[in-house]
Structure 1
Amino acid sequence: MPGTDDVEVVVFDVLGTMVDESGGLRAALHEALPASVDGASVERMLTVWQEHVEREQRRIGEGVRAYANSEVIDREAAERVAECAGLSDPAAIGQLARASQRLKPWPDSVAGLARLAGRFPVLGLSHAAPGALLRLNAYAGLRWHQALSGEEVRAYKPAPEVYRLAIEAAGCPAERVLMVAAHAWDLRGAQAAGMRTAYVRRPVGDPPRSTDTFDREVQSLEELAAALKVA
């Protein structure tokens, strides 16, 4: 792992890495859907949501669809779930569409971020639209020196322009910027942009392959802070 003399800025993925995205969406579905809907049905609806988001972000990345921000895609996902589940209340559908703005942090996220922020400039780098990211950060208690949205470059990770956005904001060479994520695909994109990488394990996410060579794999943000010699 590069030492503190090498890393100048730490950049974090947000959804899944700092907040429990799947758990928050699951809770929102339980709240929105009728009480008679069982757990297995909720899991199916969660899959419908996630597959829609992933597919539309991929289509945008492939140039098949014009850019649409996360709030638009989340609204589409909520409407697709509502159609599948027979949910017709506009207020409930609207509340469900905003579920990604109400995600709880992982147990170590707030304290770990604060600890690292005492030593490094810390940036959030997210798919979330600026307004959604603002509300999510407030809800989860995440305090960044700067929070960046891929909407600024009208792209979703792993598009290289999203990582360049963070590198430009950091104001230092890419090899002095550490990208932290629970998604190996995200870290591969960061590597391709020349950034250092740290995989943090979460209950959900995309674990590294045997062929991945990230600078560090850690179990928590406390372990990452220790590796970076943060007091």
Structure 2
Amino acid sequence: MRPEQANSVDTGAPGQWGGPAPSVLVFDVNETLIDFDAMLPLFDRVFGDQRVLREWLGQLIMYSMTLTLSGLYEDYYSLGEGLLRMVGRVHGAQVTTADTEELRTGMQTMPAHPDVEEGLTKLRNEGLRMVTLTNSPPSPHGQTPLEHAGLAHFFERQFTIETARSYKPAPQVYHMVAQELAVPPSACLMVATHVWDTVGAQSAGFTAGLLTRPGNAPLPIPSLPQPNVIAPDLSALADKIIETRRVS
């Protein structure tokens, strides 16, 4: 067997935890549970091209990491607004205050992906503890994005990186969750649609499940942590997690 085959990504075969089965599922929120594509009309109107949404989102991820690596912090929504103006300059598009306000509102009110409620219901019925860990700041005067999407009742707690003032995938963010829940990192499984999030969580001692939503795929480099479970949507991922736990 070639080395790359020996370290290839598994898609949920039994016994993939490398230890006791995880008892806490830690969910990313943005793109994993709620759908950024709800903001496509804004980008179509401002830029005349819906594809700029993905460009802006890539910048949002890159600059959130840049702030943490630089020892700086700005909240997720303010960073998103500033980057909308920056991308506007790159494309020669005028971005108004009304546009940035619409973006902030959009980031707080995105709907759930259609597969999410079914998947969460399966996992809740299995008796697993479930929490969220998001880059979005808390909403002291209104609903969180999770509450607006109608998903908050599934979760024991909603964690935000603002507590640590560091963005994922900084290890202290994942450790914060484990410490607050009084469990070892190995008891936690990170569910995310971004490989940078699963790699960060696994480097902090978590196991991980990857949702390969459109535009996302495993990173097949043998020296890097690979997700323990992979599926195209949350309902299918829930089935694999439950199956793997029962035979572990």
User: TM-score category by the smaller chain?
Assistant: 0.7 to 0.9
* Stretches of structure 1 lacking an aligned partner (at least 5 in a row): none
Match of 1:25 in 2: 39
Matched AA of 1:137? L
Corresponding residue number in structure 1 for 2:119: 112
Q: Which residue of 2 aligns with 1:94?
A: 101
1:218 aligned partner: 231
Structure 2 match to 1:77: 83
1:139 aligned to 144, 148, 153, which one? 148
Deviation of the 1:161 alpha carbon: 0.8
Check whether the contact 2:24–2:188 (CA below 8 A) recurs between aligned residues: yes
Q: Is the 8 A contact 1:77 1:97 kept in 2?
A: no
Residue 203 of structure 1, CA deviation: 1.1
Per the TM alignment, residue 217 of structure 1 is displaced from its structure 2 partner at its CA by: 1.4
Q: Secondary structure at the match of 1:122?
A: strand
Q: Secondary structure at the match of 1:104?
A: coil
| Residues 195-206 of structure 1: pairs in structure 2 closer than 5 A | 195-206=206-217
Relative to structure 1, is the Cα distance of residues 114 and 124 closer, same or farther in structure 2, using a 3 angstrom cutoff? same
Letter in 2 for 1:161: Q
**DSSP-derived class of the 2:144 partner:** helix
Offset at residue 223 of structure 1 (A): 2.5
Q: CA offsets, 1:152-185, max 9 Å, x none?
A: 1000011001101221233212111111111111
Provide Cα deviations, 1:131-168, integer angstroms capped at 9, x if missing partner: 29943112222222211100110000110011012212
Q: Which amino acid aligns with 2:133?
A: L
Displacement of 1:72: 1.4
Say if 1:69 and 1:93 are closer, same or farther in 2 by CA, change over 3 A. closer
Aligned partners of 2:107 and 2:150: how far apart in 1? 14
Partner SS, residue 50 of structure 2: helix
1:51 Cα deviation from its structure 2 partner: 4.3
Structure 1 174/166 Cα, relative in aligned 2: closer, same or farther at 3 Å?
same
- The answer (yes or no) to whether the contact 2:191–2:198 under 8 Å persists in 1 is yes
**Equivalent position amino acid for 1:141 in 2:** G
* CA-CA distance at 1:105 after TM superposition: 1.6
Give the % identical residues: 25
- What's the counterpart of residue 121 of structure 1? 129
Conservation of the 8 A alpha-carbon contact between 2:199 and 2:226: no
CA separation in 2, counterparts of 1:213 and 1:87? 40
Per chain length, whose mean CA-contact separation is higher, i.e. which structure has more relative contact order (CA < 8 Å, sep 6+)?
2
Matched, 1:164 2:171: no
* TM superposition shift of 1:224: 2.6
Say if 1:129 and 1:150, in contact at 8 Å, map to a contact too.
yes
After superposition, the CA RMSD in angstroms is: 2.7
Structure-2 separation of matches of 1:152 and 1:121: 21
Give the superposition deviation at 1:48: 4.9
**SS across alignment from 1:124:** strand
